[in-house]
Amino acid sequence: MKKVLTNINTIKDLTVCEDGSEGEGVPCKPSEVKLGNDGTASVSPHCWETAKAQPTASGMARVLLMGLFSVDVLLKSNLTGGLNKVNPTAERRQPLDGKKLQALLDAVVNHHPGAKVSDIRKSINTRICELRHQAKRKNSMDGVKQAD
């Protein structure tokens, strides 16, 4: 498996093509795009292009969130791992991976320099809540169909 080195924070991108050639300006697509200042997280090129096409920082963050984390992880997590505000005695959710989250925030702020980190974090939390709500509705609809 060839590793593709692409750092969105530098002007020079290094890509490794399927034919083994590498270097700047090589006309091939990388198999992954590294995010953040440390390059520890990566998304598919399609996810990155879709995220870059979003007109707002919130939209970009929501796309990258879905590219970095599986839906299962998002359903079992929240942004920081804090207490449930509706039921404080409920089991705590796991926080999202801090390195991936920081890479997402770095990528969005680098692409949208005027964006506030607090607004980006809020849009991430909102998206996670929407996913949970959709899953809950789907499960309740499945229960209704089985009762028929």
What is the per-residue pLDDT across 69-85, written as a single tens digit (0 to 9) for each? 999 999 999 888 888 88
pLDDT digits (tens, 9 = 90+) for 82-131: 888 888 888 888 999 999 999 999 999 999 999 999 999 999 999 999 99
72 by DSSP, 3-state: which? helix
* Mean pLDDT, the chain, whole residue set: 80
| Closest to 96 measured CA to CA, from 86, 109, 105 | 105
Please give the torsion angle defined by the CA atoms of residues 83, 86, 87 and 88, in that order, rounded to the nearest 10 degrees: 30
Q: What predicted TM-score, i.e. pTM, was given to this entire model?
A: 0.73
CA distance 136 to 25: 47
Give φ, ψ of 96 to 5 degrees. Answer: -65, 155
The residue type found at 113 is P
Please count the CA atoms within 13 angstroms of the CA of 42 that sit on its side-chain side. Answer: 14
Res. 14: pLDDT tops 60: no
Q: At residue 78, what are phi and psi to the nearest 5 degrees?
A: -140, 180
More confident residue, 12 or 43: 43
Which residues contact residue 121 at a Cβ distance below 8 angstroms, ignoring those fewer than 6 apart?
A: 79, 105
